[in-house]
Amino acid sequence: MTWHLRSASLTDLDAFTTMEAEVYGDEAWSRELMQAELENTHGYYLAAVDEDDTVVGYAGLLAPLGTGQGDIQTITVAPAARRHGLGRTLMLQLLNEARRRGAEELFLEVRYDNEPAQTLYRDLGFRDIGLRKNYYGHGVDAITMKLDVPPAKAGVA
C-alpha cells in the first residue's frame, strides 16, 4: 500500500466523519466535534491519502505554543490500511510537530482493550499513568499514557 501525508483541512471533514463512523461506531466523534478540531488554531491534523487521494487515515494533536504540553487527540487508520506502518508514521509526525511547538510532555487516552495501539505507544516511549473509568461509555475504560518528549535525533540519512 502506498500513501502520503498532507495537512488536513475542512475538505477532509466528510472523509474523516465517514471513517469515524466505520471504525468507532457509536463511539465516533460527531461531525461538529471533528469540524471544531480541524478549525482549532492550536491543533495540527494530518490526512493520510492513498494513490487515488482517498483518505486512509488521520491523526490530530492539540499543543498550544508555550504550554509545554500536548495531547494526541486522535489517530485512526482504515482497517484495510493497517499493518503497513501508517499508524507509526502518523504518530512520529505528531511527535515532530509537538517538538516544534515546544511540548515537553504528551498525553493520550487509549482503549484498555486496544493492545495493538498500546504496543505502538509504548514502543514510542509512552507509559501508563492512569485509568479513566467508562471514558468511552458503555463500561469501556481508557488507559491514560504520557510521553516525556525526547529531543530530536540527528543522524546519517
Any idea what DSSP says for residue 8?
A: -
Active site residue 135: no
> Cβ neighbours of residue 35 under 8 Å, at least 6 residues apart?
10, 13
pLDDT tens by residue, the chain, 157 residues? 789 999 999 999 999 999 999 999 888 899 999 999 999 999 999 999 999 999 999 999 999 998 999 999 999 999 888 989 999 999 999 999 999 999 999 999 999 999 999 999 999 999 999 999 999 888 899 999 999 998 877 667 6
**What distance in Å separates the CA atoms of residue 104 and residue 106, rounded to the nearest whole number?**
7
Contact 142, 111 (CB under 8 A): yes
Active site residue 32: no
Any idea what DSSP says for residue 98?
A: H
Domains of the chain: 3-148 (3.40.630.30)
In the set 39, 121, 135, 136, the catalytic residue is: 121
In the set 37, 45, 58, 109, the catalytic residue is: 109
